[in-house]
Amino acid sequence: MPGAQLGYTEVKIGFIPALVSVFLVRKIGEGRARELLLTGKLISSEKAREYGLINEVVPKAGIAGYVHQLATALCHEAAANSLKVTKQLIAGVLDMPLNEALEQAARLNAATRGHPECRRGIAAFLNKERPGW
């Protein structure tokens, strides 16, 4: 939402942002994480988007419509199994060495090719149709 701010202000009250720091460093890098976690300063929603903490800045009045549009697209433009396996892939390879991550991706790719949704999607593509998820 334009005008919204976020921050990790724990240091200002003598506390530490312990759990969030683990994820924040991975998400935005050590330098930016240090700046936010050590200063406790607030940043704008636009800066949070620039840092990669959020994907979109949506006006308050448009949030419900944006969420509905995104949810509808996920439900109707992507296969449920593909979404599930892709989420597992992203979560699983995050901290793996590159060669292990590539092997895991190849395994999931091969396994997914045998799923009925994949066969249905490929058939629809070849027939220039929509799979109708």
Same domain membership, residue 57 and residue 85: no
- Going by C-alpha positions, the residue among 124, 89, 116 that lies closest to residue 103 is 89
Same domain membership, residue 51 and residue 86: no
Residue 104 lies in a domain: yes
Question: Residue 113's pLDDT is what?
Answer: 93
Contact residues for 3 (Cβ-Cβ < 8 A; gap 6+): 44, 45
Determine whether 77 is an active site residue: no
Question: Residue 96's pLDDT is what?
Answer: 92
Residue 119 lies in a domain: yes
Same domain membership, residue 84 and residue 38: no
Residues 82/112, Cβ–Cβ less than 8 Å? yes
Question: Residue 13's pLDDT is what?
Answer: 94
pTM: 0.74
Same domain membership, residue 47 and residue 21: yes
> Domains in the chain: how many in total?
2
How far from 75 is each of 32, 102, 115, CA to CA, in Å?
35, 28, 18
Question: Residue 95's pLDDT is what?
Answer: 84
Residue ranges in the chain modelled with pLDDT below 70: none
Same domain membership, residue 52 and residue 9: yes
Domain of residue 107 covers: 78-126
